[in-house]
Structures are given as C-alpha cells and as structure tokens.
Amino acid sequence: MDVRADPTRQLVRLRGRSYVAFVFSPVVPIVEWLAEIDATLARSPGYFVGKPIVLDLSAVDLSSSAIAHLVGSLSERNIRVLGIEGVEEERLAANMPPLLTGGRACVITRSEPTKAEPEPKPKPTSLLLENPVRSGQSIVFMEGDVTVLGSVGSGAEIVAGGSIHIYGTLRGRAMAGVNGNSAARIYCQKIEAELLAIDGYYQTAEEIDVALRNRPAQAWLEGDTMKITPLN
C-alpha cells in the first residue's frame, strides 16, 4: 500500500511594513548635486546610514551607464539605494537597484523630545524713550517702532525696524524700516534732521527743503523716492 501524504501547502505569510524613504532627486549638473550631498554629510556624517533611499530620476535624462555611475558614487558615500523610480526599466542593468513605482509623497517630520518649555514672552513691538536722545547715543530697535518723547540731539541716531515718532526736535539721524520695511515712516514735531532714511533710501540735511525746517513733518517712501511733507 502506498501511503502518500499530501504535502500540506504552506501559506505564504505576507506582512506589511512601511518605511519612510528619503527620495533623492538628482538635478543636472550631477557633480554639483553630489557636492551638496557631500555638504550635508559633512554636517552630519551618519545622517543617511540605515535609512531607505529611493532615487527619483524623473527630473534628469540619464543613460544606463550614467545611472550606474551615479549609484556607484552614492554607495561610495555609504548611501545604499533601495530602488529607482522615474526611469524606463530597460535602462536599468541587472546589478542595479530595482525599479519602484507607486510611491506616495509624505512629509518628513523630525520627532524631537518635547520639552515643557515656558512660553517665551512675546517681544515688545515698540520702544518708548522718555528722555532726550543725546549726541553720541545710538538707539537700535529692529523689532518695531521707536517713540521719543524728547528731542534727538545732533550727532545722535535712531535705527528702527518700524516707524520713528519724535515728539521733540529731530536734529540727529533717523533710520526707519531698516530691515526692508518700506511702509515705515518718520514723524517729528520739528525737523532739523542730519539724515533721514527709510528702507535704505535716504536724504541728508542738504537735500531737505529749507521751507520744511523747524516744522512738524513726516517722511515716507513712494516707490523709489522719499517724500517729506509738513504735518497738518
């Protein structure tokens, strides 16, 4: 009697696991792009170690040998390419990483240990000076407006990220909107300024109209020109 045992069919167990793969999208010239990779590696040598890397070649048109060379130069840098996408299959040789399709984009977020940091106080957006600003003093406030209740002496300067308001006489220099805020303005009760500047455009004392002197005035930018007009 023949006893035959039917081979029991082993079930192939499939388990799913997903990894977030870095996608490298080389751009021409490849040499410069590699130099950028080198710069990243110089900052943190172990950054790509053990991470799946996918090469997306859709942005470049490379020949088979060029692809082989690129993969080679990446592995020289200890970067192992898991798969290649964005290229026809026939350009890939047998010893190259396989072609991948169907990748979905995702945002890489770096998980950092959450520390219970006290909420930083919001920085003040204006600076109030109750005393006159004397010759030789320099007030720099990049965060916003500066208001001076007294005068700004000749030889003093005020540098503000926002507008400048002076309720006394402006005899020194006033520079408003220094970090590119062209909407900033300068106001003063009496203008005898040595220099007015808004967002890099400036006028010196000589260029300011004599008729404006000793009067309340404001200065603002209209395109590339600085306008100074009397207030009221």
In the complex with other proteins, which residue's Cβ is closer, 163 or 169? 169
Contact assessment for residue 44 and residue 11, using Cβ atoms and an 8 Å cutoff: no
Q: Which stretch binds other proteins (CB under 8 A): 97-105, 134-142, 157-165, 195-203?
A: 134-142
Q: Which two tokens stand for residue 212?
A: 């404006």
> Smallest distance from the beta carbon of 154 to other proteins, in angstroms?
5
In the complex with other proteins, which residue's Cβ is closer, 153 or 177? 153
Contact status: 132 vs other proteins (CB under 8 A): yes
Contact status: 154 vs other proteins (CB under 8 A): yes
> Smallest distance from the beta carbon of 133 to other proteins, in angstroms?
8
Q: Which stretch binds other proteins (CB under 8 A): 9-17, 81-89, 95-103, 132-140?
A: 132-140
Q: Which stretch binds other proteins (CB under 8 A): 111-119, 147-155, 202-210, 216-224?
A: 147-155
Q: Count residues near other proteins (CB under 8 A).
A: 14
Contact assessment for residue 167 and residue 147, using Cβ atoms and an 8 Å cutoff: yes
Provide the binding-site residues for other proteins, judged by CB under 8 A: 131-132, 134-137, 150-151, 153-156, 169, 171
